[in-house]
Amino acid sequence: MPLYRISSEEGVLSPADREELAKRISELHLRLAGGVRGFVNVTFDTYRRGDVYIGGKIASPISLTGIIRTGRTHEVKLAMVKALQDTFVEVTGLSPANLTVGLTEASPKYAMIGGVVVPEVGEEEAWLKTEGAAFASA
Amino acid sequence: MPLYRISSEEGVLSPADREELAKRISELHLRLAGGVRGFVNVTFDTYRRGDVYIGGKIASPISLTGIIRTGRTHEVKLAMVKALQDTFVEVTGLSPANLTVGLTEASPKYAMIGGVVVPEVGEEEAWLKTEGAAFASA
Amino acid sequence: MPLYRISSEEGVLSPADREELAKRISELHLRLAGGVRGFVNVTFDTYRRGDVYIGGKIASPISLTGIIRTGRTHEVKLAMVKALQDTFVEVTGLSPANLTVGLTEASPKYAMIGGVVVPEVGEEEAWLKTEGAAFASA
Protein backbone atom coordinates (compact mmCIF):
# COMPACT_ATOMS: atom_id res chain seq x y z
CA MET A 1 0.00 0.00 0.00
CA PRO A 2 -0.74 2.53 -1.28
CA LEU A 3 -2.30 0.78 -4.24
CA TYR A 4 -3.51 3.24 -6.85
CA ARG A 5 -5.51 1.95 -9.78
CA ILE A 6 -6.52 3.88 -12.86
CA SER A 7 -9.21 2.28 -14.96
CA SER A 8 -10.15 3.66 -18.37
CA GLU A 9 -11.46 2.58 -21.74
CA GLU A 10 -8.83 1.20 -24.13
CA GLY A 11 -7.03 3.96 -25.97
CA VAL A 12 -7.96 6.82 -23.65
CA LEU A 13 -4.57 7.11 -21.93
CA SER A 14 -1.38 7.20 -23.98
CA PRO A 15 1.81 5.48 -22.80
CA ALA A 16 3.24 8.94 -22.06
CA ASP A 17 0.16 9.83 -19.97
CA ARG A 18 0.59 6.64 -18.00
CA GLU A 19 4.25 7.13 -17.29
CA GLU A 20 3.71 10.73 -16.22
CA LEU A 21 0.71 9.83 -14.04
CA ALA A 22 2.68 7.06 -12.31
CA LYS A 23 5.51 9.47 -11.51
CA ARG A 24 3.31 12.33 -10.41
CA ILE A 25 1.01 10.18 -8.27
CA SER A 26 4.02 8.67 -6.51
CA GLU A 27 5.41 12.13 -5.80
CA LEU A 28 2.12 13.57 -4.53
CA HIS A 29 1.55 10.58 -2.31
CA LEU A 30 4.99 10.87 -0.72
CA ARG A 31 4.63 14.65 -0.35
CA LEU A 32 1.12 14.67 1.16
CA ALA A 33 0.90 11.33 2.95
CA GLY A 34 4.49 10.36 3.59
CA GLY A 35 5.32 6.69 3.46
CA VAL A 36 7.90 4.70 1.58
CA ARG A 37 8.66 5.11 -2.14
CA GLY A 38 8.90 1.37 -2.67
CA PHE A 39 5.31 0.93 -1.42
CA VAL A 40 3.64 3.18 -4.00
CA ASN A 41 1.94 1.02 -6.59
CA VAL A 42 0.15 2.53 -9.58
CA THR A 43 -1.69 0.04 -11.80
CA PHE A 44 -3.40 0.82 -15.08
CA ASP A 45 -6.19 -1.29 -16.38
CA THR A 46 -8.43 -0.89 -19.36
CA TYR A 47 -11.87 -2.05 -20.35
CA ARG A 48 -13.43 -2.48 -23.77
CA ARG A 49 -16.16 -0.22 -25.12
CA GLY A 50 -19.43 -1.72 -23.92
CA ASP A 51 -18.13 -3.14 -20.65
CA VAL A 52 -19.25 -0.21 -18.47
CA TYR A 53 -22.67 1.39 -18.08
CA ILE A 54 -23.69 4.53 -16.20
CA GLY A 55 -27.35 4.97 -15.34
CA GLY A 56 -28.10 2.02 -17.63
CA LYS A 57 -26.31 3.37 -20.73
CA ILE A 58 -22.90 2.46 -22.16
CA ALA A 59 -20.36 5.02 -20.99
CA SER A 60 -16.62 5.64 -20.68
CA PRO A 61 -15.87 6.70 -17.12
CA ILE A 62 -12.38 6.90 -15.72
CA SER A 63 -11.71 5.92 -12.14
CA LEU A 64 -8.64 6.70 -10.08
CA THR A 65 -8.84 4.91 -6.77
CA GLY A 66 -6.35 4.41 -4.01
CA ILE A 67 -6.14 2.07 -1.05
CA ILE A 68 -3.97 3.69 1.61
CA ARG A 69 -2.97 2.66 5.11
CA THR A 70 -5.29 3.83 7.90
CA GLY A 71 -4.13 6.73 10.05
CA ARG A 72 -4.04 9.92 7.99
CA THR A 73 -6.05 12.96 9.08
CA HIS A 74 -9.22 14.17 7.36
CA GLU A 75 -7.32 17.19 6.00
CA VAL A 76 -4.59 15.06 4.47
CA LYS A 77 -7.04 12.68 2.82
CA LEU A 78 -9.13 15.51 1.37
CA ALA A 79 -5.99 17.21 0.04
CA MET A 80 -4.90 13.92 -1.51
CA VAL A 81 -8.21 13.42 -3.35
CA LYS A 82 -8.08 16.93 -4.74
CA ALA A 83 -4.44 16.63 -5.73
CA LEU A 84 -5.11 13.30 -7.46
CA GLN A 85 -7.88 14.86 -9.50
CA ASP A 86 -5.91 18.00 -10.37
CA THR A 87 -2.89 15.93 -11.37
CA PHE A 88 -4.98 13.69 -13.58
CA VAL A 89 -6.55 16.64 -15.38
CA GLU A 90 -3.22 18.44 -15.75
CA VAL A 91 -1.35 15.43 -17.13
CA THR A 92 -4.03 14.14 -19.51
CA GLY A 93 -5.78 17.33 -20.56
CA LEU A 94 -9.09 15.48 -20.09
CA SER A 95 -12.14 17.05 -18.44
CA PRO A 96 -12.99 15.78 -14.94
CA ALA A 97 -16.60 15.27 -16.12
CA ASN A 98 -16.13 11.49 -16.51
CA LEU A 99 -13.61 11.06 -13.71
CA THR A 100 -14.24 9.52 -10.31
CA VAL A 101 -11.49 9.75 -7.70
CA GLY A 102 -11.70 7.87 -4.43
CA LEU A 103 -9.60 6.83 -1.44
CA THR A 104 -10.29 3.96 0.92
CA GLU A 105 -8.23 2.84 3.89
CA ALA A 106 -6.98 -0.55 4.98
CA SER A 107 -5.06 -1.62 8.06
CA PRO A 108 -1.43 -2.60 7.51
CA LYS A 109 -1.76 -5.07 10.41
CA TYR A 110 -2.52 -7.96 8.09
CA ALA A 111 -0.30 -6.97 5.21
CA MET A 112 3.23 -8.10 4.36
CA ILE A 113 5.54 -6.73 1.73
CA GLY A 114 8.91 -8.10 0.71
CA GLY A 115 8.63 -10.71 3.44
CA VAL A 116 7.87 -8.46 6.43
CA VAL A 117 4.79 -6.94 8.05
CA VAL A 118 3.98 -3.45 6.73
CA PRO A 119 4.60 -0.62 9.26
CA GLU A 120 1.83 1.56 10.67
CA VAL A 121 1.64 5.18 9.50
CA GLY A 122 4.32 7.12 11.40
CA GLU A 123 6.47 4.08 12.12
CA GLU A 124 8.22 3.93 8.76
CA GLU A 125 11.52 5.43 9.90
CA ALA A 126 12.21 2.81 12.55
CA TRP A 127 10.97 0.09 10.17
CA LEU A 128 13.38 1.16 7.40
CA LYS A 129 16.28 0.69 9.81
CA THR A 130 15.18 -2.78 10.92
CA GLU A 131 12.73 -5.17 9.19
CA GLY A 132 12.30 -2.91 6.17
CA ALA A 133 15.98 -2.28 5.45
CA ALA A 134 15.59 -3.60 1.90
CA PHE A 135 13.25 -0.68 1.17
CA ALA A 136 15.52 2.06 2.57
CA SER A 137 17.10 2.86 -0.77
CA ALA A 138 14.28 1.66 -3.03
CA MET B 1 -20.61 5.20 -6.32
CA PRO B 2 -22.45 2.93 -6.48
CA LEU B 3 -20.00 0.77 -8.38
CA TYR B 4 -21.51 -2.54 -9.35
CA ARG B 5 -19.30 -5.17 -10.89
CA ILE B 6 -20.37 -8.42 -12.48
CA SER B 7 -17.64 -10.95 -13.04
CA SER B 8 -18.24 -14.12 -15.04
CA GLU B 9 -16.46 -16.59 -17.28
CA GLU B 10 -16.19 -15.53 -20.92
CA GLY B 11 -19.33 -16.36 -22.87
CA VAL B 12 -21.68 -16.80 -19.91
CA LEU B 13 -23.51 -13.48 -20.30
CA SER B 14 -24.81 -12.41 -23.70
CA PRO B 15 -24.70 -8.77 -24.81
CA ALA B 16 -28.47 -8.65 -24.32
CA ASP B 17 -28.11 -9.99 -20.75
CA ARG B 18 -25.55 -7.31 -20.01
CA GLU B 19 -27.62 -4.46 -21.33
CA GLU B 20 -30.70 -5.63 -19.46
CA LEU B 21 -28.75 -6.19 -16.22
CA ALA B 22 -27.23 -2.71 -16.43
CA LYS B 23 -30.67 -1.14 -16.84
CA ARG B 24 -32.39 -3.22 -14.18
CA ILE B 25 -29.62 -2.79 -11.61
CA SER B 26 -29.66 0.98 -12.11
CA GLU B 27 -33.42 1.04 -11.61
CA LEU B 28 -33.40 -1.14 -8.52
CA HIS B 29 -30.61 0.88 -6.97
CA LEU B 30 -32.46 4.15 -7.49
CA ARG B 31 -35.74 2.64 -6.25
CA LEU B 32 -34.36 0.99 -3.10
CA ALA B 33 -31.38 3.15 -2.17
CA GLY B 34 -32.09 6.49 -3.83
CA GLY B 35 -29.12 8.42 -5.10
CA VAL B 36 -28.31 9.98 -8.44
CA ARG B 37 -28.74 8.21 -11.80
CA GLY B 38 -25.44 9.54 -13.10
CA PHE B 39 -23.60 7.84 -10.22
CA VAL B 40 -24.72 4.28 -10.96
CA ASN B 41 -21.86 2.39 -12.57
CA VAL B 42 -22.25 -1.20 -13.72
CA THR B 43 -19.07 -2.85 -15.01
CA PHE B 44 -18.81 -6.27 -16.60
CA ASP B 45 -15.62 -8.21 -16.56
CA THR B 46 -14.81 -11.70 -17.68
CA TYR B 47 -12.23 -14.29 -16.85
CA ARG B 48 -10.94 -17.20 -18.86
CA ARG B 49 -11.70 -20.83 -18.02
CA GLY B 50 -9.03 -21.91 -15.57
CA ASP B 51 -8.54 -18.55 -13.88
CA VAL B 52 -10.85 -19.24 -10.92
CA TYR B 53 -10.85 -22.09 -8.43
CA ILE B 54 -13.36 -22.96 -5.72
CA GLY B 55 -12.25 -25.27 -2.93
CA GLY B 56 -9.12 -25.99 -4.97
CA LYS B 57 -10.90 -27.01 -8.20
CA ILE B 58 -11.43 -25.03 -11.41
CA ALA B 59 -14.90 -23.51 -11.34
CA SER B 60 -17.09 -20.88 -13.00
CA PRO B 61 -18.62 -18.70 -10.30
CA ILE B 62 -20.39 -15.46 -11.03
CA SER B 63 -20.04 -12.54 -8.66
CA LEU B 64 -22.21 -9.45 -8.51
CA THR B 65 -20.74 -6.99 -6.05
CA GLY B 66 -21.55 -3.40 -5.28
CA ILE B 67 -19.74 -0.64 -3.42
CA ILE B 68 -22.32 1.83 -2.12
CA ARG B 69 -22.06 4.95 -0.01
CA THR B 70 -22.31 4.45 3.76
CA GLY B 71 -25.58 5.41 5.42
CA ARG B 72 -28.35 3.04 4.32
CA THR B 73 -30.28 1.04 6.92
CA HIS B 74 -29.88 -2.69 7.48
CA GLU B 75 -33.34 -3.28 5.94
CA VAL B 76 -32.48 -1.36 2.79
CA LYS B 77 -29.18 -3.19 2.31
CA LEU B 78 -30.73 -6.60 2.82
CA ALA B 79 -33.51 -5.76 0.36
CA MET B 80 -30.89 -4.60 -2.15
CA VAL B 81 -28.90 -7.84 -1.94
CA LYS B 82 -32.04 -9.92 -2.44
CA ALA B 83 -33.25 -7.74 -5.31
CA LEU B 84 -29.84 -7.93 -7.00
CA GLN B 85 -29.92 -11.70 -6.84
CA ASP B 86 -33.53 -12.01 -8.01
CA THR B 87 -32.89 -9.59 -10.87
CA PHE B 88 -29.82 -11.51 -11.97
CA VAL B 89 -31.69 -14.82 -12.01
CA GLU B 90 -34.72 -13.33 -13.77
CA VAL B 91 -32.70 -11.61 -16.50
CA THR B 92 -30.23 -14.41 -17.24
CA GLY B 93 -32.29 -17.51 -16.51
CA LEU B 94 -29.23 -18.91 -14.69
CA SER B 95 -29.44 -20.76 -11.38
CA PRO B 96 -28.17 -18.87 -8.31
CA ALA B 97 -26.08 -21.96 -7.41
CA ASN B 98 -22.86 -20.38 -8.73
CA LEU B 99 -23.75 -16.80 -7.90
CA THR B 100 -22.31 -14.70 -5.09
CA VAL B 101 -23.90 -11.31 -4.41
CA GLY B 102 -22.34 -8.84 -2.01
CA LEU B 103 -22.52 -5.22 -0.92
CA THR B 104 -19.80 -3.24 0.82
CA GLU B 105 -19.87 0.38 1.89
CA ALA B 106 -17.43 3.25 1.42
CA SER B 107 -17.51 6.81 2.70
CA PRO B 108 -18.14 9.49 0.06
CA LYS B 109 -15.98 11.88 2.11
CA TYR B 110 -12.88 11.10 0.08
CA ALA B 111 -14.54 10.66 -3.29
CA MET B 112 -14.95 13.14 -6.13
CA ILE B 113 -17.02 12.77 -9.27
CA GLY B 114 -17.15 15.16 -12.21
CA GLY B 115 -14.86 17.52 -10.35
CA VAL B 116 -16.77 17.82 -7.06
CA VAL B 117 -16.94 15.96 -3.74
CA VAL B 118 -19.66 13.26 -3.70
CA PRO B 119 -22.64 14.07 -1.43
CA GLU B 120 -23.52 12.06 1.67
CA VAL B 121 -26.63 9.83 1.51
CA GLY B 122 -29.66 12.12 2.00
CA GLU B 123 -27.89 15.27 0.82
CA GLU B 124 -28.26 14.63 -2.91
CA GLU B 125 -31.11 17.09 -3.48
CA ALA B 126 -29.22 20.14 -2.22
CA TRP B 127 -26.09 18.91 -4.01
CA LEU B 128 -27.88 18.63 -7.37
CA LYS B 129 -28.86 22.32 -7.08
CA THR B 130 -25.34 23.49 -6.24
CA GLU B 131 -22.02 21.65 -6.82
CA GLY B 132 -23.67 18.74 -8.59
CA ALA B 133 -25.77 20.73 -11.06
CA ALA B 134 -24.17 18.91 -14.01
CA PHE B 135 -25.74 15.67 -12.74
CA ALA B 136 -29.27 17.06 -12.30
CA SER B 137 -30.48 15.95 -15.71
CA ALA B 138 -28.02 13.10 -16.26
CA MET C 1 -15.98 -15.31 0.78
CA PRO C 2 -13.13 -15.87 1.23
CA LEU C 3 -12.11 -14.36 -2.09
CA TYR C 4 -8.40 -14.74 -2.70
CA ARG C 5 -6.87 -13.01 -5.69
CA ILE C 6 -3.37 -13.43 -7.04
CA SER C 7 -2.24 -10.81 -9.48
CA SER C 8 1.01 -11.16 -11.41
CA GLU C 9 2.62 -10.21 -14.68
CA GLU C 10 1.81 -12.53 -17.59
CA GLY C 11 4.04 -15.59 -17.64
CA VAL C 12 5.23 -15.40 -14.03
CA LEU C 13 3.07 -18.23 -12.70
CA SER C 14 2.88 -21.54 -14.54
CA PRO C 15 -0.37 -23.51 -14.79
CA ALA C 16 1.12 -25.99 -12.31
CA ASP C 17 1.92 -23.15 -9.88
CA ARG C 18 -1.63 -21.92 -10.13
CA GLU C 19 -3.23 -25.28 -9.52
CA GLU C 20 -0.98 -25.97 -6.55
CA LEU C 21 -1.54 -22.49 -5.09
CA ALA C 22 -5.32 -22.85 -5.40
CA LYS C 23 -5.23 -26.17 -3.55
CA ARG C 24 -2.80 -25.08 -0.86
CA ILE C 25 -4.55 -21.76 -0.19
CA SER C 26 -7.90 -23.54 0.16
CA GLU C 27 -6.38 -26.00 2.63
CA LEU C 28 -4.63 -23.34 4.73
CA HIS C 29 -7.76 -21.24 4.86
CA LEU C 30 -9.88 -24.13 6.09
CA ARG C 31 -7.20 -25.20 8.58
CA LEU C 32 -6.51 -21.76 10.09
CA ALA C 33 -9.79 -19.90 9.64
CA GLY C 34 -12.38 -22.64 9.33
CA GLY C 35 -15.32 -21.99 7.06
CA VAL C 36 -16.82 -23.92 4.20
CA ARG C 37 -14.83 -25.48 1.35
CA GLY C 38 -17.34 -24.36 -1.26
CA PHE C 39 -16.80 -20.72 -0.24
CA VAL C 40 -13.05 -20.60 -0.92
CA ASN C 41 -12.47 -18.73 -4.18
CA VAL C 42 -8.99 -18.29 -5.60
CA THR C 43 -8.79 -16.10 -8.71
CA PHE C 44 -5.70 -15.51 -10.84
CA ASP C 45 -5.32 -12.42 -12.91
CA THR C 46 -2.46 -11.15 -14.95
CA TYR C 47 -1.28 -7.80 -16.19
CA ARG C 48 0.93 -6.90 -19.12
CA ARG C 49 4.46 -5.59 -18.72
CA GLY C 50 4.13 -1.82 -18.38
CA ASP C 51 0.76 -1.79 -16.62
CA VAL C 52 2.17 -1.49 -13.09
CA TYR C 53 4.57 1.05 -11.61
CA ILE C 54 6.24 1.12 -8.21
CA GLY C 55 7.65 4.41 -6.99
CA GLY C 56 7.11 5.79 -10.52
CA LYS C 57 9.01 3.03 -12.37
CA ILE C 58 7.68 0.04 -14.30
CA ALA C 59 7.78 -3.01 -12.06
CA SER C 60 6.47 -6.56 -11.71
CA PRO C 61 4.97 -6.94 -8.25
CA ILE C 62 2.86 -9.88 -7.23
CA SER C 63 -0.08 -9.41 -4.91
CA LEU C 64 -1.95 -12.07 -3.01
CA THR C 65 -4.96 -10.55 -1.32
CA GLY C 66 -7.90 -12.08 0.47
CA ILE C 67 -11.28 -10.77 1.53
CA ILE C 68 -12.49 -12.84 4.47
CA ARG C 69 -15.55 -12.65 6.68
CA THR C 70 -15.25 -10.47 9.78
CA GLY C 71 -14.83 -12.22 13.10
CA ARG C 72 -11.44 -13.93 13.24
CA THR C 73 -8.98 -13.07 16.02
CA HIS C 74 -5.83 -11.02 15.54
CA GLU C 75 -3.73 -14.16 16.04
CA VAL C 76 -5.60 -16.10 13.39
CA LYS C 77 -5.35 -13.30 10.84
CA LEU C 78 -1.64 -12.80 11.42
CA ALA C 79 -1.03 -16.53 11.11
CA MET C 80 -3.02 -16.55 7.87
CA VAL C 81 -0.97 -13.74 6.32
CA LYS C 82 2.28 -15.48 7.21
CA ALA C 83 1.03 -18.85 5.95
CA LEU C 84 -0.13 -17.29 2.69
CA GLN C 85 3.28 -15.80 2.12
CA ASP C 86 5.18 -18.95 3.07
CA THR C 87 2.94 -21.07 0.87
CA PHE C 88 3.43 -18.76 -2.10
CA VAL C 89 7.21 -18.84 -1.75
CA GLU C 90 7.28 -22.60 -1.23
CA VAL C 91 5.07 -23.40 -4.23
CA THR C 92 6.59 -20.97 -6.72
CA GLY C 93 10.21 -20.82 -5.60
CA LEU C 94 10.02 -17.03 -6.08
CA SER C 95 11.56 -14.56 -3.62
CA PRO C 96 9.10 -12.61 -1.46
CA ALA C 97 10.91 -9.39 -2.46
CA ASN C 98 8.20 -8.44 -4.98
CA LEU C 99 5.29 -9.99 -3.11
CA THR C 100 2.58 -8.17 -1.18
CA VAL C 101 0.16 -10.22 0.89
CA GLY C 102 -2.89 -8.68 2.49
CA LEU C 103 -6.15 -9.58 4.19
CA THR C 104 -9.22 -7.39 4.50
CA GLU C 105 -12.52 -8.22 6.13
CA ALA C 106 -16.11 -7.82 4.98
CA SER C 107 -19.36 -8.53 6.76
CA PRO C 108 -21.33 -11.52 5.48
CA LYS C 109 -24.56 -9.72 6.44
CA TYR C 110 -25.05 -8.35 2.94
CA ALA C 111 -23.71 -11.30 1.00
CA MET C 112 -25.57 -14.20 -0.58
CA ILE C 113 -24.14 -17.34 -2.10
CA GLY C 114 -26.03 -20.04 -3.95
CA GLY C 115 -29.26 -18.22 -3.20
CA VAL C 116 -28.95 -17.84 0.58
CA VAL C 117 -27.42 -15.35 2.99
CA VAL C 118 -23.83 -16.22 3.98
CA PRO C 119 -23.43 -17.38 7.62
CA GLU C 120 -21.45 -15.47 10.22
CA VAL C 121 -18.11 -16.91 11.36
CA GLY C 122 -18.92 -19.70 13.86
CA GLU C 123 -22.43 -20.33 12.54
CA GLU C 124 -21.42 -22.50 9.59
CA GLU C 125 -22.40 -25.83 11.15
CA ALA C 126 -26.04 -24.91 11.75
CA TRP C 127 -26.15 -23.22 8.33
CA LEU C 128 -24.90 -26.33 6.51
CA LYS C 129 -27.83 -28.28 8.00
CA THR C 130 -30.44 -25.73 6.99
CA GLU C 131 -30.16 -22.96 4.36
CA GLY C 132 -26.71 -24.02 3.26
CA ALA C 133 -27.42 -27.73 2.77
CA ALA C 134 -26.28 -27.56 -0.85
CA PHE C 135 -22.77 -26.72 0.40
CA ALA C 136 -22.53 -29.56 2.94
CA SER C 137 -20.80 -31.96 0.57
CA ALA C 138 -19.23 -29.41 -1.76
Q: Mind listing the pLDDT tens digit for each residue in A51-65?
A: 999 999 999 999 999
Q: Helices in chain A by DSSP H: which ranges?
A: 15-33, 74-92, 124-129
Percent of chain A with pLDDT over 90: 93
Which residue of chain A comes nearest to C84, CA vs CA?
A: A112
Indicate the pairing of strand B3-9 with strand B41-47. Answer: parallel
Residue contact B40–A61, C-beta within 8 A = no
What residues of A are in the C interface, CB distance below 8 Å? Answer: 1, 3, 15, 18-19, 22-23, 26-27, 37-45, 106, 109-115, 117, 134, 138
Which chains would you list as touching A if contact means 3+ CB atom pairs under 8 Å?
B, C
Closest CA relative to residue C68, chosen from C21, C95, C34: C34
What Å distances lie between residue A18 and A37, A88, B57, B89, C29, CA to CA? 18, 10, 37, 39, 37
The 10 Å Cβ neighbour count of residue B100 is 21
Q: What is the rounded average pLDDT of the residues B84-113?
A: 95
Q: What is the rounded average pLDDT of the residues B108-129?
A: 93
Mean pLDDT score across all residues of chain C: 94
Q: 3-state class of A46 per DSSP?
A: strand
The 10 Å Cβ neighbour count of residue A65 is 19
The per-type count for chain B, helices as H runs and strands as E runs, is 3, 8
pLDDT at C136: 86
- Answer for the pair A119, A112: CB distance below 8 angstroms, yes or no: no
> For residue C6, with 0-12 CB atoms within 10 Å meaning exposed, 13-18 middle and 19 or more buried, which class applies?
buried
pLDDT at A1: 83
Q: Helices in A34-123 by DSSP H: which ranges?
A: 74-92
A112/chain C closest Cα distance in angstroms: 5
Percent of chain C with pLDDT over 90: 93
Mean pLDDT score across all residues of chain B: 94
Q: What is the rounded average pLDDT of the residues A101-112?
A: 93
Residue A138: pLDDT above 60? no
Residue B136: pLDDT above 80? yes
Q: Is the peptide bond before B15 cis (omega within 30 degrees of 0)?
A: no
- Answer for the pair B84, B27: CB distance below 8 angstroms, yes or no: no
- Answer for the pair A1, A118: CB distance below 8 angstroms, yes or no: yes
Residue A49: pLDDT above 80? yes
Q: C87 φ, ψ to 5°?
A: -65, -45
Which residue of chain B comes nearest to A105, CA vs CA?
A: B106
Beta bridge partners of C101: A112, C64
Residue B138: pLDDT above 80? no
pLDDT at B29: 97
Contacts of C42 in chain B (CB under 8 A): 52-54, 56
Residue C49: pLDDT above 70? yes
Instruction: Kindly provide the ipTM of the predicted complex, given to two decimals.
Output: 0.94
pLDDT at B1: 84
> For residue B107, with 0-12 CB atoms within 10 Å meaning exposed, 13-18 middle and 19 or more buried, which class applies?
middle
Q: A115 φ, ψ to 5°?
A: 95, -5
| Local confidence band at C7 (pLDDT 50, 70, 90 cut-offs) | very high
Which residue of chain A comes nearest to C8, CA vs CA?
A: A43
pTM for the whole structure? 0.93
| Local confidence band at C138 (pLDDT 50, 70, 90 cut-offs) | low
- The string of DSSP letters for B76-111 reads HHHHHHHHHHHHHHHHH---GGGEEEEEEEE-GGGE
List, for residues B33-58, the tens digit of each pLDDT value.
999 999 999 999 999 999 999 999 99
The 10 Å Cβ neighbour count of residue A9 is 18
Beta bridge partners of B54: B57, C41
